[in-house]
Amino acid sequence: MVSLKKQSHNRYQLIQRIVELSDSDSWREAKQEWCLVDVYRTQSLGECLCGHPIKEHCVLQNHENGNEAIVGSVCVKLYWFSVTLSFDVLELVG
């Protein structure tokens, strides 16, 4: 096993936390339980589930158990809506 280099976006941490908040135990199924319910921008920095500081907060809600999670726009694009959704459009709404 290769040792993991520390990254500003910690994929393992994000995946682990999402799975913890989901009904499913597998990431592939767990990620499908989530939908984007809100997007907002703040002046002060928040924190993405991956540990990265964020200004654009994307609120995800699990439609199976009602849990909420906040991730940054980078991670939302990376894990959920890279193909189907343009974040720029959402930003105007938020």
Q: Provide the pairing of β-strand 68-72 with 34-47.
A: unpaired
84 token code pair: 């189907």
Starting at the edge strand found earlier in the chain, the sheet holding 34-47 runs: 34-47, 53-62, 68-72
Query: Is 57 among the residues that bind Zn ion (CB under 5 A)?
Result: no
Query: Is 75 among the residues that bind Zn ion (CB under 5 A)?
Result: yes
Minimum CB–partner distance for residue 84 and Zn ion (Å): 19
Query: Is 21 among the residues that bind Zn ion (CB under 5 A)?
Result: no
Query: Is 60 among the residues that bind Zn ion (CB under 5 A)?
Result: no
Please give the residue ranges that form the binding site for Zn ion (CB under 5 A): 48, 50, 52, 72, 75
